[in-house]
Amino acid sequence: MELSARLQLLADWVPSGARIADVGTDHAYLPVWLLLHGRVVSAIACDLREGPLERARQTGYTYGVDLDLRLGNGLDVAAPEEVDTIVIAGMGGENIAAILERAPWTADGRHTLLLQPMSRAEDLRRFLMDHGYAIRREALVWDRGTIYPVMEAVKGEMKLSLGQLYGGAALLQDPLGGQYIIEKIIRLQGAVAGLNRSGNREKGDGLRNIITALLSLREEWRYAQSR
């Protein structure tokens, strides 16, 4: 069984002997791979819809893995004492934040979060900062033509600058960091141009502040790469 680059990075970060919950599991490739390789003691595969859970069931059947499948909203179907590692991947950052907000026990100091937002990563970083989590490490992965951030978060405190909220909390040493920041700047510049055409200059000024912060962060990244 071969994982995509995005899922493989998450798998590499799962501690050996962990008890995981994979939220939004879809085909359940990650928990099945972890069980096949003996990396985890147990794996709960959760999803909001029957269709993905049926696909997960088929994946388990194909590879001879008996999955613990649970239908429900986010972590509502998993108890804190059942898991120590929580994987939430393949959805927008705002959706991941909403799942965590419904499960405040994930910030109790006994759980590790492995998070992979497909979009709006800044919303997730801001939520983590404001709700008692700290990003312990962050990395970028190139998968099917797109750069995705992956974060490991635990209970803690952190203060992120505006540039870090949008360009990554801890990516100065990441070789993909410069490209990730530039792509953010280009998208924001396009949004500013659209706002200027519509006459919404106030909102455009806010986005320009973010662009300035990202340009500064990219200089920090360039300096860190040259050392």
pLDDT in tens, the chain (227 residues): 899 999 999 999 999 999 999 999 999 999 999 999 999 999 999 999 999 999 999 999 999 998 999 999 999 999 999 999 999 999 999 999 999 999 999 999 999 999 999 999 999 999 999 999 999 999 999 999 999 999 999 999 999 999 999 999 999 999 999 999 999 999 999 999 988 888 777 888 899 999 999 999 999 999 999 98
133-143 and 68-71 beta bridge pairing: unpaired
Global pTM value: 0.95
Largest separation between any pair of C-alpha atoms in the chain? 59
Could you tell me the two tokens for 137? 């490490």
Say which residues have a Cβ less than 8 Å from residue 61's Cβ, sequence separation at least 6. none
Helix 29-36 × helix 50-63 angle, to 10°: 30
Structure tokens at 174: 């990441």
Helix ranges (H only) for 75-176 are: 93-101, 121-130, 162-167
